[in-house]
Amino acid sequence: MRPTGIESLRGIQLAIAEALVPELQTAHAQDVAQTLQMLIESLASEWDTAADDLRSDGGAMRRLLGALADGARTAAAGNERLASLVHQIGEALAVPAPGSLALSALRAENERLGWLLEAAVVLLEDLSLDPRYEPLTKHRAAIYGHLREKAARGWSFWDMAGFRERMADHRSAGAG
């Protein structure tokens, strides 16, 4: 039976750990091997949940954009930018969510909705100091909440790599 993608990544991790790591002589080479292991683990974890995460994010963005459009319809009168955004949201939400769980289809929808969500939050920031648009601040907060949750999901290989670099710099500064 052919191994799954995740099983193949686990096989690569095992080969690195059993065959390569014992042969590595320098601390730098061992560090690179450990970094590769972390990157492979990140890929396996992301691969396992990618479709569910993308589908969930797409649904969340659809709900956020729909609520914003509903709340902004009245406020859009007299504000061309807001009226244009409400119209764009309506057009975007008229396109059905992908019926496929193919990552390419889900990712394409998320990118399309993500660009619109970004445009929405930029406009909401621009309007935030105008008291006429105060009722829209709850939508801004909800969008930021979604973006924070998405950014904090799981752990980031790149954050870990940056932390390791900062620790190495700290150690070298203390030793010098």
From first to last of its 176 residues, what are the pLDDT tens digits of the chain? 888 888 888 898 888 888 888 888 988 888 888 888 888 888 888 888 889 999 999 999 999 999 999 999 988 888 999 999 999 999 999 999 999 999 999 999 999 999 999 999 999 999 999 999 999 999 999 999 999 888 877 655 555 555 556 556 656 776 54
Query: Whose CA is closest to 125, among 153, 150, 147, 110?
Result: 147
Amino acid in the structure at residue 2 = R
The answer to whether residue 167 is domain-embedded is: no
The answer to whether residue 176 is domain-embedded is: no
Tell me the C-alpha distance between 6 and 95, whole Å: 33
pTM over 0.95: no
- How many domains in the chain? 1
Tell me the C-alpha distance between 174 and 28, whole Å: 20
Query: Whose CA is closest to 54, among 102, 116, 4, 121?
Result: 102
Domain around 85: 5-153
